C-alpha cells in the first residue's frame, strides 16, 4: 500500500493525491484508473471523493458504482442476482425474493466485533482482573491497523464497489445523520435500499458536512480462493467488524449477513450513534417506538421498549390488540434515537426505513401486520420455500397445506412434521416500513414523537413478573442496567443460558458502559421531563415449561396498565420490593380464560435476593469502578426492601 513519507504520521490508508477524476474513470495512486460503471463521481462532495478514492486504492475493485436508491437500480441488481442464482423469485408474491446464505454466515458475530479508541477505557469499563469483559471489545489503534492491513488491500479485486449514500432518519431532519457505505455485496445494496433512505438528495444535504464512513467487504476477491457456497461469497474465518467512533468510521469484513453488513443498523445507528449521542446529549437505543391512541378519548401516547435481540420488539411494535380500546401504530421496531426538545419533552425518531425482522414465529395470528407488510417488495434470507413459490418457516404450520413440498433453507426437500427445521432460527424478512398496514402517519416526522414511557424486558423463564413499574428514573436505570435474557439465535451463542444484556445494549455499546449509565442518569436534570420506566417479561413459564402469559396481541393489556399509570391513575398498583405491579381487579382480563395470575406476578424473595447479588457481582466484575454510585445505592435499597419482605 502507500509508502509513508519519512516522519509523516499518516495512516497507510491515506493516499496523497486529491485529484481522482477522469471522464469515465477514477484514478488512484497505486492501482491507476478504475472504471465508473454508474454515477457522476466529479459531482460528489470533495470529502466524499477523497473517501472513495482512498478505499478504491486499497480495495482495488474492478469498477465503481454510485447508487441512487431508485427502483430501477434495485430492479437491475435483482435481475442480475436472479440470473446468477443468488436470489430466487417467490412467485406467490409481488417482487419478493429469497436468498440463502452460506450456512457459515447466518448471524451477528459478537466475538469478532471490535471498537478502537486511543484510550481503552473510553470504550470498555474497568473489568475485574482475570474476567473476560462482555460489554464491548476494545482494540488498540495500531493493532487494528495491522488487522486491517491483513484484510483490505485488494479485497474487492474482480468485484464492483458500490457507493451507497444513505440517511438515518428522514433526509435533512434535525436528528438525522448521513452515512456513506462502500460495499462489494449487491445483496447488501438491496437491503440498504430497504432499510435506510438511499437517495441522491443525501449528497445535497451533506454538502461539505460530516458523514459516517462505512466500509464493507465480503472478503472474497476474485479469483476466489475459498469455496463459495450458495453463491454467497463470504470469509467467516476472517470476519472482523471494527468501529472507530472518534473517526466516525466502521469497517466490516468477511460477512454479508444482517447486523454485520447492513452498516446503517447496529454499527452506525447504535454503536457509533451512541458515542455521538453521548457527545451531543441524546440517546441511541435498541428500542422499538409505538403509538397507542385511546379510542374513547382520542388521546395518543408513544412508548419505547428495549428488549434484547429476538425478544419481541418487532412483535410488540406491530401489535394487533386482542381487546378493543386502542389504535396501535408502529413508528419503529428496532432502534430509537431519543432527544429532549426545548420544552424538555423526550422525542424519538426511528432512524431506519425498513424492518429486518425475525421470520420464525411470525404468522397471521401472532403478527398479522408483519405478514401484510412483506407481501411485496421484500427480501427473505434463510427461510424455506414452498413448492408454489411462497415463503415458509417454523410457526407457519397452520397457514400452509400439510402436504406441501417445502425446500428448506439448506436446500433439502422437507414436509411439515418431518424432523429438523425448515428455516434457520435467525432467518429474516427485509421489508419497507411504509408498507406496514399500521405504520404511524408521523413515523417520518423529522422531530420525532413524544415519549411517555420506557419499557425494558427480556426472556426470563422464572422469577420475573409480567410487568412492574420502577420507583423513579434512577431506579429505572438500575433495572435497565440489570436486564438479563435467555440467549437467542440472533448471535453466535448456543443453548439457553441466561445472559446479562444491560439496557438490551450489550452487543451494541459504543463506549464505556459505566459512562453510558452516567449519561442516562444525567438526563434527569431540569428542564427534562423524564418518562416513567417499566419492566416486562412475556416469557415466564410454569412447571411444565408452558408460557404463563399468552403474549402477542394480549400484550395490549399490559400496555393499557402502563399508560394508565403514566396518566397518574391511582388505586391500580400494588407496591412490591421490586416496583409497582398491577392490582388484579384493575387489569383488563376480559376473555383471557385461565390465567395463573399469582404465579405470573409472584416475586419469590430468595430468587430475587440471589438475582440482585448476582447482578451486583456482574456489575463489580464487568463495570467495576465505572459503576455510578447511584446504581449501587438503588441496588442496596432494593436488596433491603427484599430482606424486609416477610
**Residues known to be catalytic:** 311
Q: How many chain residues bind ligand OAA (CB under 6 A)?
A: 9
Long-range contacts: 635-638, Cβ < 8 Å, 24+?
Answer: 635/478, 635/482, 638/475, 638/478, 638/577, 638/578, 638/612
Q: By C-beta, is 314 or 615 nearer to ligand GTP?
A: 314
Among 112, 159, 216, 266, interactor with ligand OAA by CB under 6 A: 266
Q: By C-beta, is 546 or 570 nearer to ligand GTP?
A: 546
Residue 258 binds ligand GTP (CB under 6 A): no
| Contacting ligand OAA within 28-87 (CB under 6 A) | none
Per DSSP, helices labelled H in 398-512 are 473-481
Per DSSP, helices labelled H in 357-512 are 368-373, 473-481
**Among Mn ion, ligand GTP, ligand OAA, none, partner that 361 touches (CB below 5 to 8 angstroms by kind):** ligand GTP
d(CA 23, CA 25): 6
Cα dihedral 259, 260, 262, 266 sign = positive
Residues counted in the chain: 646
Report the nearest approach of Mn ion to the CB of residue 316 (Å).
Answer: 10
Q: By C-beta, is 100 or 313 nearer to Mn ion?
A: 313
Residue 357 binds ligand GTP (CB under 6 A): yes
Phi and psi of 386, rounded to 5°?
Answer: -85, 160
Residue 259 binds ligand OAA (CB under 6 A): yes
> Burial level of 111, CB count in 10 A (0-12/13-18/19+)?
exposed
Among 311, 331, 338, 503, interactor with ligand GTP by CB under 6 A: 311
Q: By C-beta, is 320 or 488 nearer to ligand OAA?
A: 488
| Contacting Mn ion within 347-386 (CB under 5 A) | 357
Q: Are 161 and 189 in contact (CB under 8 A)?
A: no
Cα dihedral 484, 490, 491, 492 sign = positive
The strand ranges marked E within 43-176 are 63-66, 87-89, 97-99, 113-115, 160-168
Q: By C-beta, is 15 or 357 nearer to Mn ion?
A: 357
d(CA 640, CA 148): 50
Among 251, 270, 406, 490, interactor with ligand GTP by CB under 6 A: 490
Q: How many chain residues bind Mn ion (CB under 5 A)?
A: 3
The single-letter DSSP state of residue 126 is -
d(CA 253, CA 240): 5
Q: How many chain residues bind ligand GTP (CB under 6 A)?
A: 22
Q: How far is CA 144 from CA 117, 122, 251, 298, 541, in A?
A: 10, 16, 10, 54, 44
Closest residue (Cβ) to Mn ion?
A: 314
Residue 307 binds ligand GTP (CB under 6 A): yes
The candidate with the shortest Cα–Cα distance to 104, out of 218, 8, 246, 181, is 218
Residue 314 binds Mn ion (CB under 5 A): yes
Residue 312 binds ligand GTP (CB under 6 A): yes
Q: By C-beta, is 218 or 490 nearer to Mn ion?
A: 490
Find the part of the chain contacting ligand OAA (CB under 6 A) among 2-10, 168-176, 258-266, 415-423: 258-266
At residue 410's C-alpha, the angle toward residues 508 and 110, to 5°, is 15
**Among Mn ion, ligand OAA, ligand GTP, none, partner that 547 touches (CB below 5 to 8 angstroms by kind):** ligand GTP
The candidate with the shortest Cα–Cα distance to 196, out of 433, 501, 422, is 433
**Among Mn ion, ligand GTP, ligand OAA, none, partner that 453 touches (CB below 5 to 8 angstroms by kind):** none
Q: How far is CA 263 from CA 213, 271, 636, in A?
A: 10, 10, 40
Among 108, 500, 506, 535, interactor with ligand OAA by CB under 6 A: 108
Q: How, if at all, do strands 87-89 and 97-99 pair?
A: antiparallel
Q: By C-beta, is 113 or 309 nearer to Mn ion?
A: 309
Residue 615 binds Mn ion (CB under 5 A): no
Q: By C-beta, is 216 or 266 nearer to ligand OAA?
A: 266
* Stretch (H or E) spanning 601: helix 597-601
Find the part of the chain contacting ligand GTP (CB under 6 A) among 262-270, 306-314, 470-478, 593-601: 306-314
**Among ligand GTP, ligand OAA, Mn ion, none, partner that 164 touches (CB below 5 to 8 angstroms by kind):** none
Q: Are 253 and 265 in contact (CB under 8 A)?
A: no
| Contacting ligand OAA within 479-498 (CB under 6 A) | 490
| Contacting ligand OAA within 146-185 (CB under 6 A) | none
Q: Within a 13 Å sphere around the CA of 468, how many CA atoms are in the beta-carbon half? A: 21
Q: Which residues pair with 160 in a beta bridge?
A: 63
* Stretch (H or E) spanning 291: strand 288-294
**Among ligand GTP, Mn ion, ligand OAA, none, partner that 266 touches (CB below 5 to 8 angstroms by kind):** ligand OAA
Residue 315 binds Mn ion (CB under 5 A): no
Find the part of the chain contacting ligand OAA (CB under 6 A) among 41-49, 168-176, 257-265, 509-517: 257-265
What cell does 399 get? Answer: 397457514
Q: Which 3 state secondary structure label does DSSP give 276?
A: helix
**Among ligand GTP, ligand OAA, Mn ion, none, partner that 215 touches (CB below 5 to 8 angstroms by kind):** none
**Among ligand GTP, Mn ion, ligand OAA, none, partner that 259 touches (CB below 5 to 8 angstroms by kind):** ligand OAA
d(CA 344, CA 63): 49
Residue 361 binds ligand GTP (CB under 6 A): yes
Report the nearest approach of ligand OAA to the CB of residue 329 (Å).
Answer: 21
Report the nearest approach of Mn ion to the CB of residue 461 (Å).
Answer: 21
DSSP one-letter string for 239-254: -EEEEETTTTEEEEES
Q: Would you tell me which residues interact with Mn ion (CB under 5 A)? A: 313-314, 357
Q: Would you tell me which residues interact with ligand OAA (CB under 6 A)? A: 108, 258-259, 265-266, 309, 334, 356, 490
Q: Would you tell me which residues interact with ligand GTP (CB under 6 A)? A: 307, 309-315, 333-334, 357-358, 360-361, 366, 490, 538-539, 547, 551-552, 555
Amino acid at each position: 500500500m502507500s509508502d509513508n513519507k519519512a516522519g509523516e504520521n499518516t495512516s497507510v490508508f491515506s493516499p496523497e493525491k486529491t485529484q481522482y477524476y477522469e471522464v469515465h474513470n477514477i484514478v488512484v495512486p497505486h492501482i491507476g484508473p478504475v472504471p465508473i460503471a454508474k454515477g457522476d463521481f466529479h459531482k460528489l462532495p470533495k470529502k466524499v471523493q477523497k473517501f472513495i478514492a482512498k478505499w478504491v486504492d486499497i480495495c482495488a475493485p474492478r469498477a465503481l458504482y454510485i447508487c441512487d436508491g431508485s427502483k430501477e437500480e434495485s430492479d437491475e441488481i435483482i435481475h442480475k442476482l436472479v440470473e446468477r442464482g443468488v436470489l430466487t423469485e417467490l412467485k406467490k408474491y409481488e417482487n419478493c425474493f429469497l436468498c440463502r446464505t452460506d450456512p457459515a454466515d447466518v448471524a451477528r458475530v459478537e466475538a469478532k466485533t471490535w471498537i478502537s479508541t486511543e484510550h481503552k477505557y473510553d470504550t470498555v469499563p474497568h473489568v475485574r482482573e482475570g474476567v473476560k469483559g462482555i460489554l464491548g471489545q476494545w482494540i488498540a489503534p495500531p493493532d487494528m491497523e495491522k488487522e486491517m492491513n491483513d484484510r483490505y488491500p485488494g479485497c474487492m479485486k474482480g468485484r464492483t464497489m458500490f457507493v451507497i449514500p444513505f440517511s438515518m432518519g428522514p433526509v435533512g431532519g434535525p436528528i438525522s445523520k448521513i452515512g456513506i457505505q462502500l460495499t462489494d455485496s449487491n445483496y447488501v445494496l438491496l437491503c440498504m435500499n430497504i432499510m435506510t433512505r438511499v437517495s441522491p438528495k443525501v449528497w445535497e444535504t451533506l454538502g461539505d458536512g460530516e458523514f459516517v464512513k462505512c466500509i464493507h467487504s465480503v472478503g472474497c476477491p476474485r479469483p476466489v480462493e475459498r469455496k463459495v457456497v450458495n453463491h454467497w461469497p463470504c470469509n467467516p474465518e476472517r470476519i472482523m467488524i471494527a468501529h472507530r467512533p472518534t473517526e466516525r468510521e466502521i469497517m466490516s469484513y468477511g460477512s454479508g449477513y444482517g447486523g454485520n453488513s447492513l452498516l446503517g443498523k447496529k454499527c452506525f445507528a447504535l454503536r457509533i450513534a451512541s458515542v455521538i449521542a453521548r457527545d451531543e446529549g441524546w440517546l441511541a437505543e435498541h428500542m422499538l417506538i409505538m403509538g397507542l391512541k385511546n379510542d374513547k378519548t382520542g388521546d395518543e401516547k408513544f412508548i419505547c421498549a428495549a428488549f434484547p435481540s429476538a425478544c419481541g420488539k418487532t412483535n410488540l411494535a406491530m401489535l394487533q390488540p386482542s381487546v378493543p380500546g386502542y389504535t396501535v401504530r408502529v413508528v419503529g421496531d428496532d432502534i430509537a434515537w431519543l432527544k429532549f426538545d426545548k420544552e424538555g419533552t423526550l422525542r424519538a425518531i426511528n432512524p431506519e426505513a425498513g424492518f429486518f425482522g425475525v421470520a420464525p414465529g411470525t404468522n397471521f395470528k401472532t403478527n398479522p401486520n408483519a405478514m401484510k407488510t412483506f407481501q411485496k417488495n421484500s427480501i427473505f434470507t434463510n427461510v424455506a420455500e414452498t413448492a408454489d413459490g411462497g415463503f415458509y418457516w417454523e410457526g407457519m404450520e397452520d397457514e400452509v397445506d400439510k402436504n406441501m413440498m417445502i425446500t428448506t433453507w439448506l436446500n433439502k426437500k422437507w414436509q411439515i412434521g418431518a424432523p429438523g427445521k425448515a428455516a434457520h432460527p435467525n432467518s429474516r424478512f427485509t421489508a419497507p416500513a411504509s408498507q406496514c398496514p399500521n405504520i404511524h402517519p408521523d413515523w417520518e416526522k423529522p422531530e420525532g414523537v413524544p415519549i411517555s414511557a420506557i419499557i425494558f424486558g427480556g426472556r426470563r423463564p422464572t422469577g420475573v413478573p409480567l410487568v412492574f413499574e420502577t420507583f423513579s428514573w434512577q431506579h429505572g436505570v438500575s433495572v435497565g442496567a440489570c436486564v438479563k435474557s435467555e440467549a437467542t439465535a440472533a448471535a453466535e451463542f448456543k443453548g439457553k443460558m441466561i445472559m446479562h444484556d444491560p439496557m438490551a445494549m450489550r452487543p451494541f455499546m459504543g463506549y464505556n458502559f459505566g459512562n453510558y449509565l452516567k449519561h442516562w442518569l444525567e438526563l434527569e436534570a431540569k428542564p427534562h421531563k423524564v418518562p416513567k420506566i417499566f419492566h416486562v417479561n412475556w416469557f415466564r413459564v410454569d412447571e411444565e415449561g408452558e408460557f404463563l402469559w399468552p403474549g402477542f396481541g394480549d400484550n395490549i393489556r399490559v400496555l393499557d396498565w402502563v399508560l394508565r399509570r403514566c396518566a397518574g391513575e391511582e388505586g391500580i398498583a400494588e407496591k412490591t420490593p421490586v416496583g409497582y405491579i398491577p392490582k388484579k381487579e384493575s387489569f383488563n382480563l376480559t376473555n383471557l380464560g385461565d390465567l395463573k395470575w399469582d404465579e405470573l406476578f409472584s416475586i419469590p424473595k430468595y430468587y430475587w435476593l440471589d438475582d440482585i447479588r448476582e447482578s451486583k457481582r456482574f456489575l463489580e466484575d464487568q463495570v467495576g469502578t465505572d459503576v455510578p454510585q447511584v446504581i449501587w445505592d438503588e441496588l442496596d435499597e432494593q436488596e433491603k426492601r427484599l430482606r424486609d419482605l416477610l
